[in-house]
Amino acid sequence: MQKLKIGGKYKHHKGNFYRVISIARSSEDLEELVVYEALYDNPRSKIWVRPKKMFEENVVKDGKNVPRFKFVKE
């Protein structure tokens, strides 16, 4: 996968769009976390975090190996 772009817009494999805000570290184990913002009306939360490794991994969708989040633009 490409280097993660802070401020970049990404499309989740389920179709929603997000903007990466920053990379943070877990205070427990120093794992890198991606801080990102939902670019749609989400009643649960606007800001999310996910382990960077998981953000960048591929998932199987309709029998195909696809990125969990695909970069679309700056």
Q: Which domains are seen in the chain, by residue range? A: 9-73 (2.30.30.320)
Give residue-wise pLDDT tens across range 6-59: 999 999 999 999 999 999 999 999 999 999 999 999 999 999 999 999 999 999
pTM of the model: 0.90
* Largest interatomic CA distance in the chain: 37
- pLDDT above 70: residue 2: no
Helix, strand or coil, per DSSP, at residue 50: strand
Q: d(Cα 69, Cα 11) in Å, to the nearest integer?
A: 5
- pLDDT above 80: residue 4: yes
Query: What pLDDT is stored for residue 74 in this prediction?
Result: 73
What angle (nearest 5°) sits at the alpha carbon of residue 64, between those of residues 21 and 59?
Answer: 35
